[in-house]
Amino acid sequence: MNDVLRRYKTLDYPLPSTNLAWRMHEAGVENFGKTGEPDVLPLRRPNRDEVLVRVDAIGICFSDVKLITQGPAHPRITGRDLAKEPVIPGHEVSLTVVEAGDDYKSSYKPGDRFIVQADVYYKGVNLAYGYALEGGMQQYGIVGEPVLAGDEGSYLIPVKPETGYAEAALVEPWTCVVAAYRIQPRKTWKPGGAVLIVQTERGEYCFDPELWSAGLPQKIVLSGVDAAVASAIEAALRSEADITKLPLVDLNSLSSAVQEHAGGRGFDDIVVLGTPDPSLAEALAAVLAKNGVMAILAEEPIGKPVKIDIGRVHYDYIDIIGSRSHRVADAYSKSRTSELTPGGAAWFIGAAGPMGQMHVQRAVRLKNGPCKILCTDVDDSRLDYLRSGVDSTARERGIEIKYVNPTRTVPDELDKIVAELTSGRGFDDIVVMAPVAAIIEDAVRYLAEGGLLNIFAGVPRGTIATMDISSTYLKGNRFVGSSGSRPQDMVDTLALTEAGELPVVNSLAAIGGIDAVAEGVRAVKEARFPGKIVIFPHIRLPLTALTDLNKVAPNVFAKLKDGKFWTKEAEEELLRSRLEL
């Protein structure tokens, strides 16, 4: 290690008096920064309850693009006056502690390295890092009490000294991928929640104590439930819950029922006994609370596909499940997790984008993962890039993998490919990275018995898809979504990364220095690169694809793997030759 890199790693250099920071002064990617340059700010030293950190690497996420595009209209900074209180975006960070305030000197030593769990909760309030809290698109930053002493403890996750800076920064997006496969279905009614039971067909229905084994709901509303079923419910609960009986709800009475019996926030559990009318199914799904579950027990399909807010599936974790049996607990107990089916068939839609590549890379390296994989994307060059990064691993593991651009297939060709790959049974898992309602709608028909559709793409709330939800009870299908991650997810992902089990740097496609941040944001918006962009804030380098480094930094290019994949050796060569202390 030469002198400049050693000094950088050991903080053996005088701190500058200024800090270059990219701030949002108004909405719009075209307005990011000030006249296309970062702001020059005084370098602030920490107060007693703060820590000064150096930003060693920062990944640019499409979430950053959405924040910068929407400005004060973004839900995480709604109404913020950016002219008076600019935002510093960026949450995919690798940080080094420079100086701790008096309250934290014993906990955070100069040279300690961390990444950040960005979804911060402080005194019950969500204050995301890189949104409400200043983020990493700067050279140095201040981390305060919300991050250091949040509701879940410290949101700083320790990093080993030998871990690469880009490698550490890329753990955050990879954590979102890992978390997408940790969605656990609720197996019981929500303890203390509100339950709505709607009966549309006569019959004998069984309500086992298994449904409330985690705790009784606070309120149960029976709508259109006949006397025999009502008596069975009352007998099973032994009068231990507050039960209200109503006529069969219609579209007009449903909203008043939500206000009166579910506190206006929606029902935590909705149980439908019999096949619902399409309009009733739509209305019931719309009044599920966040994390709510709708269970349909029926044997006949709904008359037509119904309109579902798939943005709520993604962000509010609403869950639609079902069973052909008349035992309500069956719908809950048979609901599967979101992990890929061992030995199954998986389809990744939008597989060659930055996040899609992470999903596929994880799948081909997963112990007991799928044995058949279909990767589709509308960009041939991206598909080629994906193939070069995963094909050999897939083949070594005996995985049959195909790469298809659906826009280049003739009618029915994709159906034939699916039928051949899955032996006609469909996919056990379909993961959608494309935020397009029509794509999500169409994917449902390719699910196998017991198959799961994972809506990973960040489709906004209010995005309506017309879906055949009959498959939830006729075929045991499940639709799930995920957004972000929790601290333990990040701890686990970092551990897998540092153990060499997750190749996070294989998703890196372009790099740049502090001057390249705005261009990097535009590049993400335009989907210019097949993988992630990482900025090194303490060097000067135009935004450059790894494959083009031979033109501007041949010494760094020489350290890449196969001329396209990032390595720790390339990173060290970059810093040796570009750092100015």
pLDDT digits (tens, 9 = 90+) for 266-292: 999 999 999 999 999 999 999 999 999
Could you tell me if 75 and 101 lie in one domain?
A: yes
Q: Is residue 188 part of a domain?
A: no
Which CA distances in Å does 302 have to 201, 270, 280, 298? Answer: 13, 17, 10, 9
- Supply the range of the domain harboring residue 320: 194-333
- Please determine, for residue 2, whether its predicted confidence score (pLDDT) is greater than 70: no
pLDDT at residue 154, as a whole number: 96
Q: Is residue 480 part of a domain?
A: no
Q: How many domains does the chain have?
A: 3
Q: What does DSSP say about strands 194-199 and 319-323: parallel, antiparallel, or unpaired?
A: unpaired
pLDDT at residue 249, as a whole number: 81
- Please determine, for residue 20, whether its predicted confidence score (pLDDT) is greater than 90: yes
pLDDT at residue 411, as a whole number: 86
Could you tell me if 203 and 324 lie in one domain?
A: yes
pTM above 0.85, yes or no: yes
3-state helix, strand, coil in the chain (%, to 5): 35, 25, 40
pLDDT at residue 242, as a whole number: 87
Q: Is residue 394 part of a domain?
A: yes
Could you tell me if 327 and 378 lie in one domain?
A: no
Encoded amino acid at 19, one letter: N
Indicate the pLDDT class of residue 426, thresholds 50, 70 and 90.
very high
User: Where do runs of H (alpha helix) occur along 412-454?
Assistant: 413-422, 437-443
Could you tell me if 65 and 135 lie in one domain?
A: yes
Mean pLDDT in residue range 469-491: 90
- Percentage of the chain modeled with pLDDT above 70: 99
pLDDT digits (tens, 9 = 90+) for 101-155: 999 999 999 999 999 999 999 999 989 999 999 999 999 999 999 999 999 999 9
pLDDT digits (tens, 9 = 90+) for 542-573: 999 999 999 999 999 999 999 999 999 999 99
Q: Is residue 409 part of a domain?
A: yes
Indicate the pLDDT class of residue 467, thresholds 50, 70 and 90.
very high
pLDDT at residue 91, as a whole number: 96
Mean pLDDT in residue range 490-511: 94
- Please determine, for residue 485, whether its predicted confidence score (pLDDT) is greater than 90: no
Could you tell me if 37 and 169 lie in one domain?
A: yes
Mean pLDDT in residue range 10-34: 93
pLDDT digits (tens, 9 = 90+) for 50-107: 999 999 999 999 899 999 999 998 888 988 999 999 999 999 999 999 999 999 999 9
Q: Is residue 493 part of a domain?
A: yes
Q: Is residue 340 part of a domain?
A: no
Q: Which of 90-99, 224-233, 249-258, 407-416 has the highest mean pLDDT?
A: 90-99
pLDDT at residue 30, as a whole number: 86
Neighbours of 28 (CB within 10 A): 12
- Please determine, for residue 1, whether its predicted confidence score (pLDDT) is greater than 60: no
Mean pLDDT in residue range 441-459: 92
Average pLDDT, the chain: 93
Q: Is residue 136 part of a domain?
A: yes
Burial class (CB in 10 A: 0-12, 13-18, 19+), 551: exposed
